[in-house]
Structure 1
C-alpha cells in the first residue's frame, strides 16, 4: 500500500528568482510576512503553511520517481502557529566540558537523555500565568486586536486577555474548512504535541485550546520578531557565528523532541521564529510523528520539498535522523543562501537530493563543512546523529564555541536582536494581514440555529479543548 503523501511547501523567492510559483503545485496568490516583492509581480507565499496533499501515487520497484512526485500534487492550506514560549528563570547546573571527538564515540548514549532534559527543564508561562487559574476559557475572554496571519482554514490574531492584560497569538480555524480538506488528523496531532506541555526554551508553548460549534481556538505564546526566513531573505546569508547560534538552539529543541519520541519532520526557515530578544522558537507541530520509540521507524511521505531527506523521497522507512538532514539543509541555506540541491524544477530538485554530490564552497570553515557533510549524508545510517542523536551534534567541533548550559538558560547573547518596541509592534508582519478587519464573529456565542453540518463539525473534534490548570482535556 502506498502511504499517505503530505508535503508542506512554500514557494519562496529571492532577488535571483529562487522560486517559481508554478514549479511545485501552483500556490495561487502567495503572500508573505516579509513584505518583499517578486520581479514577476507576485509576492512570496505567506507565513502560513501551504500544505500540498499528493494524490495516490503508484509505487515503482525503487520507490517513487522524482517525476511521479512532481506531477501528482494538488494544494490546500493550513495555518501556522505564530508563537514562542516565554520562560521563567530557572537555575541551571554549572557548565561541563564536552569530551574530545574521539572519546565522544564511546560516551554518546543511544538516545538524547531524558535526565539531561529534566535537568534543564523550564516552566511554560501557561502554568504560572493568570490564565491558568481559569478552568474554561471562551472567545469573549479576549480582545482581538489585529490579524497577523491568514490561511484557507482561518486566521491568527494578536489578542489581549481582558482580565490579565497579557498578549497571545490566537489561532482560529473554521471547522467546516478543516473537515472539507480532511485535515482534522493534523490539527489534532498539533494539539496532541502541544498538550505534552513542552518544557524547552526554544519551542512554542500552548496556554489553552478550546472550541465553539464552528471554530477551533489555539491560545499560544505570541512572538513578533519575525520568521527566520524573512530575515534570511533580506540578508541573503548569515555569518558563521550567527548561523552557529541558530543551529545550536534548533538542535537542542530537536533533541528534546526526540527524547519524547517525537519526530518534527518539517524543519524549515518559515517554521523558525525569532522572539523579541533574538532567540529562535520552533512552531507548527502539525506534521510531527509521535510515539516513535528508539530504533523505531515510520514511512509517511511528508515534509517540504527543499528539505526532504533521500530516504523519505525513496519511500523508505525512516527515523529521527530525517530531522538532522533538515537541520543540515537549513544550516546550508543560512551559510550559502539557498538550500542544498535546490532547483526551480521540483523533479530535478528531487533527483539532485537523491543523486547529486554535495558541493561546499570554501567560504565556510573546515568544521562547518564537516558538519554539513555529516548532516547531509544521503545514507541515514551514516548520518551525523544516527548513533547518539543530539549528543553527536553537541560535541561536534563546529559547536565548540557554544556553552550548552548557558544556551539552554538563554544566557548566550543572540547575534541579532529584532527591532521590536513592544507587543503591539507589528513591523515584522505583512500589512496585507494587519490591515484586514477583525470580525465580530470571533467572540460571538454559537448560533442557536445551528445547522446539521455545524453539529457534525462540532462533534468532529472530541477532546480538543484543554486547560492546563484542569490537568486534562474537556469537551
Structure 2
C-alpha cells in the first residue's frame, strides 16, 4: 500500500445523533452489524510492484486475492473515532456506494473490504484534515467565500451520486471531512438509497434531527431533493454557526423545521440569502435543485465565482489548508479519541474464510491496490 492511505471510518459522535467517518462493522450473534468503537489509521505491509507488462492479467486475479486480506496485514496506529450500531443492510449499501464512487475527488474511496468470523472491515481513504464539524466548533462560522467553496464541492459530490440514482440522505458536518489539501471528502454512506432517479420517491424515515427535511419529518414520500435541503442546512450552519431551525428541545426543533420562518441573519450577501431560501424551501416542487438537480445550483449567483470544471479537477486552491506535517499527523482529530489505546480485538488474527463468509460478496480489493502490492514473480 502506498504509505498511510487508509482510514477505518464510521461512527456515532457526541454532538448530533450521527455517524461520522466509517470503518469497522461488528457482526453480532443476532446477525446485526456493529460499528466498532474505533476508526483506525492503518498501513498495509508493502510488497514489490509487478512489472507493468503483467498488468493485463490483474483483473481476473482480484477476486481470489480478496480472501487473502486479513487484519494482520495492517499496522494499527491510532484510534480516530468511536462508534455505535448499524444494521446489516447498511453495511452492504455502504460497500455498494463506495464501489460506485471510487474515482470521485470529493468522495471517500474504498481500498479494501474483508471479513473475519466476527468482524467486517472497510479500509478507506485516510483523510486527516479534520471534520467540518471540528472546524466549525473551533471557528464558529466561515466567511462566505470559504462556505461557498465547501458547498460547491459538496454539491458536486451530491450531484454525482444523484447521477448514479443514489440519494445520500445524511449530509451534516460530521460526515464532511477535509483532506490534507483542504478539499471536501464526503464519507459514511450507510444511509444512502440506491435506485432513486430524479422523480423517484422514498419513504424511509432516517437522518439526523437537525438536518431532516420537512417532507421526511412528516413521513411524506420524498425524492433526491432531500439532499439539497441538507446542503442548505449545512451552508446555513457554516455561515451562521448553527443549523437553521435548531433548538435544544427536539420537539421545538421539529416544529421549527415544519413551520418556523427562515431567519437569515443580517450581514449576509443577497446571493447567500437567495440560495438559502431556495435550498430551504419546504415546497419540494419549488426547492432549488428539485427539477434539474445540480445544474440549478451551478447557475445560482452565490456560486458565480466558481469554475466548476476546475473545481472538479481540484485546480481551485482551497481557502483553508490544514497544517498537517504528514499522514501521521492527527492534530485535527479530537484527542479524546487519539489518546485511547487501540483495542486488541480489532487485530483479529484469524484468516478470512472465503467459503464460510457470513456476508458473501463483501470482500473486495481495489485493482489499483492490487497492482501496487503484487510481488515480482
TM-score, length basis structure 2: 0.80
Shift of 1:151: 1.9
Q: Name the CA shift for 1:267/1:310 in 2 (closer, same or farther; >3 Å).
A: same
Q: 2:169 maps to what in 1?
A: 265
Which residue does 1:382 correspond to in 2?
Answer: 286
**CA apart distance, 1:78:** 7.5
Q: Which residue number in structure 2 is paired with residue 151 of structure 1?
A: 83
Unaligned 5+ segments in structure 2 are 1-10, 23-33, 42-57, 370-377
For 2:276 and 2:89, the matched residues in 1 are separated by 34
3-state SS in 2 of match to 1:392: helix
Change over 3 Å in CA distance of 1:192–1:145 after alignment to 2:
same
Report the counterpart of residue 402 of structure 1 in structure 2: 306
Distance of 1:241 and 1:364 partners within structure 2: 11
| Aligned pairs for 1:28-107 within 5 A | 47=20
TM-score, normalised to structure 1's length? 0.64
CA contact (8 A) 2:39 2:80 kept: no
Q: Secondary structure at the match of 2:134?
A: helix
User: Would the alpha carbon gap of residues 227 and 133 (structure 1) be closer, same or farther in structure 2, given more than 3 Å must change?
Assistant: farther
Say if 2:187 is the partner of 1:283.
yes
Deviations 1:216-264 (A, max 9, x none): 1101110111000110111111000000000000000000000000000
Alignment partner, residue 141 of structure 1: 73
Q: Which one of 359, 378, 388 corresponds to residue 263 of structure 2?
A: 359
Partner residue in 2 for 1:309: 213
Q: Report the CA distance shift for 1:377/1:467 in structure 2 as closer, same or farther (over 3 A).
A: same
Q: Deviations over 1:182-224 (max 9, x none)?
A: x111111111111224321100000110001111110111011
> Which residue in the other structure is 1:319 paired with?
223
Compared CA separation, residues 48 and 315, structure 1 to 2 (3 A): same
Number of paired residues? Answer: 327
Q: Which residue of 2 aligns with 1:169?
A: none
8 Å contact kept, 1:134–1:469: no
C-alpha distance in structure 1 between counterparts of 2:235 and 2:227, whole Å: 12
Unaligned runs of 5+ in 1: 1-7, 13-18, 20-26, 28-44, 50-75, 84-126, 154-177, 449-454
Aligned to 1:172: none
Q: What is the Cα-based RMSD across aligned positions, in Å?
A: 3.0
Name the structure 2 match of 1:68: none
SS of alignment partner, residue 219 of structure 1: strand
CA distance in 1, matches of 2:219, 2:111: 37
**SS at structure 2 position matched to 1:412:** coil
Q: Is the 8 A contact 2:176 2:186 kept in 1?
A: yes
Say whether residues 1:465 and 2:363 are aligned partners: yes
- Contact 2:101 2:107 survives alignment (8 Å): no
Instruction: Name the counterpart of 1:215.
Output: 119
Correspondence for 1:423: 327
SS at match of 2:129: coil
Give a deviation string over 1:28-82, Cα, whole Å, max 9, x none: xxxxxxxxxxxxxxxxx99568xxxxxxxxxxxxxxxxxxxxxxxxxx9777988
When residues 306 and 444 of structure 1 are mapped into structure 2, their CA distance, relative to the original with a 3 A threshold, is closer
Q: Which residue of 2 aligns with 1:234?
A: 138
Output the CA distance in 1 between the equivalents of 2:247 and 2:345. 43
Note closer, same or farther for the CA distance 1:380–1:469 as it changes in structure 2 (3 Å cut): same
Show CA shifts across 1:415-471 (max 9, x none). 1111100011111122232222234443443399xxxxxx9xx75422211123399
Confirm or deny that 1:330 pairs with 2:228: no
SS of structure 2 residue aligned to 1:254: helix
Task: Supply the distance in 2 between the matched residues of 1:78 and 1:143 (Cα, whole angstroms).
Answer: 17
CA distance in 2 between counterparts of 1:134 and 1:463 reads 13
Moved more, 356-365 or 251-260: 356-365
Give the direction of change, closer, same or farther, for the CA distance of 1:221–1:132 in structure 2 (3 Å limit). Answer: farther
Q: Is the 8 A contact 2:21 2:187 kept in 1?
A: no
Question: Do 1:9 and 1:305's aligned partners in 2 also have CA atoms closer than 8 Å?
Answer: no
